[in-house]
A and B are shown apart, each in its own frame.
Chain A
Amino acid sequence: MSMVLPPFSLKNGRGENISFPSTKATLTCVVKEDCPTCREVMPLLVAFGHAFGADLDLHILSQTEAGIGVLEDAYSPPFSMLDDASLKVSFASDIDTVPTLFYSDVQGRPLTTLVGFVRDEWQQLAAELADKMGQTAAIDWEVLPQWRPGCGSLSVDPAIADRLRAQSQNSPLRARRIEIGSQDDEFEFMFDQGFSDGLPLVPPTPERVLRMLAGSSRDPQEVLALMPPNMGEVTVEKVAINAVMAGCKPEYMPVINTIVQAICTDAYNIHGVMATTMGASPVVVVNGPIREQIGMNMKLGALGQGNRANATIGRAVRLLIRNVGGAQPGGTERSTLGNPMKFTMCFAEWEERNPWSPLHVDRGFAAEDSVVSVFTMTSGPSLIVDQDSRTGSGLAGTMGLCLESAFNPKAHYATDCLLVVVPEHVDTFVRDNYSKSDIRRRIQEVTARPIKALVADEISGTGIKASVAAAMSAEALEKRLPKFRSDDDIHIVVAGADAGKFSGAFHGWATGEIGSMPVSRKIEEL
């Protein structure tokens, strides 16, 4: 260890800038107010100040801002103490211990360095200074202890040192560094720490995280959102760390950042989505040029495995919810069954195969915008098998009958859905000139049931309570309710392989202000 005092300019308690070195020899001592040894040496420093102050600069650096007032009140030094609460000078001088005293010549070169308090050393220095200056410091050395160990410098406090090191190296990384012993397995370690969704993670080393950060134009310390349930600050750096673990490429960063902002809104309500026993999960649809730029899958197997962007973007979001938000199964995540979408569920819309307007345009964005849309879904994709319908009304009718099972067949006005129409089904609709509105209207039409058919009965005990139905008029009981409260609760996108008449439907959760509403957000940093 080589402790050398660097040149500095610090403010004193009176707000004046004091620089080192100056044109005089200097005594510089670093102290903190809660260290007993520092308090032991303060009267000595005061005595040095009175005896040698005319010929010597005396700088006492406090490692906390509060310490200046506390120590000046207690010891009335004949000089104002300096503020090193940023610990920059303490860190740069590489001290471990307070008090550490540097005696430097007029050029700032170190002559003597004293660590802690060893009486003989301090007495020798006092004698040396007395010889040079022709004054003697008024100190009764005999009443002082032989030695006192110092206290740990705040600049080596493990909670602070990493940040100081990063700042001194101009590194953008501020996250806590975890050292894994050379005999430990980092993969097992990450499981033990609870970082994982159950699958192996890529170790987030500083080198990998720096590479990941290169994918975002944002400041690494920008706070994108506060994420419930623990209201953890999601910085771009934390996104990058979790993206590394999930297996992402740097170019996915703008997508993940935007998803984080979308789910951490009151409208989306990620807290409720995670906490519900129903087992809801975010489902992310990506639109716009970014799909091609990062190689997302929107065709064969779009909702399944095999594509890195689809798989790891969704996984990174889930890891952020787990690690930064703090939602963990058995903690605030209380899903009764869970569902595989909780690992990841993210795909792109095949806009070029969509004869209608794509999802993001429906939701108010320009066609050339890249946009993420987040939905909350409890199950899916539930397959809609129809290889026979040759008309739009027939096919949309099948879709409606399949959607009838969302929650349970008697649950009307309860949820929303995300319909993923495959190309062969798209072609059937196109031949019949069937629009998205036609599909929605037809689904509502074929699912409409009189209220009396939605009452709990001997076949199924769920539904409208018999006592409630008994209080209704015959006319009211005949009123027909479609499956969804509004046509707008039927969200439609196009994806999937060219071959196969198997569309899919995701079933929603509590829709609207009591639960979660879909949120779309433009990816701004492209």
Chain B
Amino acid sequence: MTILLDPTNERVPVARSIAPRPAAITGSVGFLDISKPRGNVLINRLETLLAQRLPQVTFNRYAKPTFTKPAPDALRRQINAENDFVIEALAD
């Protein structure tokens, strides 16, 4: 990972461009539990509902080691490689 120092006056957050939105959900959907309590409850329910509507889609589950820190590089790469979409359960 490359780290750059911000050349601006830091009055606004760093903006990042979002990926293009696909028209349909196909392929694989990753669920990322950030390891806050009951994130799994939310994701279980979502997976049940989405599996009913999207029978062709496969679902993968991931969890961050701790909610307080960014996901490790290896986990980010894995999620990116194995999925077309990702749903992250934030907060509790």
Binding site for B on A (CB under 8 A): 1, 96-97, 147, 149, 152-153, 156, 173, 175-183, 186, 189-190, 192-193, 195, 203-206, 209, 230, 232-233, 237-238, 241-242, 245, 319, 323-326
Contacts and interface: CB of A to CB of B under 8 A. Distances in A.
Contact of B77 (A182, A193, A230): A182
Contacts of A149: 36-37, 92
Nearest to B11: A230
A205 B16 CA distance: 18
A237 B2 CA distance: 19
B2 A323 contact: no
A178 B10 CA distance: 11
Nearest to B5: A175
Contact of A193 (B14, B70, B80): B14
A95 to B, nearest CB: 9
A96 B68 contact: yes
A55 B69 CA distance: 37
A195 B15 CA distance: 11
Contacts of B66: 1, 96
Contact of B68 (A153, A175, A195): A153
Interface of B: 1-11, 14-17, 36-37, 66, 68-70, 73, 76-77, 80, 92
B76 to A, nearest CB: 7
Nearest to B73: A182
B3 to A, nearest CB: 5
B41 to A, nearest CB: 14
B2 A326 contact: no
Nearest to B92: A149
Given A149-B36, A153-B68, A182-B77, A177 B7 contact: no
A181 B2 CA distance: 7
21 contacts: A96-B69, A175-B6, A175-B7, A175-B10, A177-B3, A178-B3, A178-B14, A180-B3, A182-B1, A186-B4, A190-B4, A192-B15, A193-B15, A195-B8, A203-B2, A206-B3, A232-B8, A323-B7, A324-B8, A324-B9, A326-B8
A195 B7 contact: yes
B17 A192 contact: yes
User: Which of B6, B11, B36, B76 has the largest count of A CB atoms less than 10 A from its CB?
Assistant: B6
From B3, B4, B16, B77, residue with most partner A Cβ within 10 Å: B4
A205 B4 contact: yes
Q: Which one of B7, B16, B92 has the highest number of Cβ atoms from chain A below 10 Å of its Cβ?
A: B7
Nearest to A153: B68
B5 A173 contact: yes
A167 to B, nearest CB: 16
Given A195-B7, A323-B8, A326-B8, 11 more contacts: A177-B4, A178-B5, A180-B1, A180-B3, A189-B4, A190-B4, A205-B4, A205-B5, A209-B5, A232-B9, A324-B8
Contacts of A180: 1-4
A97 B2 CA distance: 27
Contacts of A190: 4
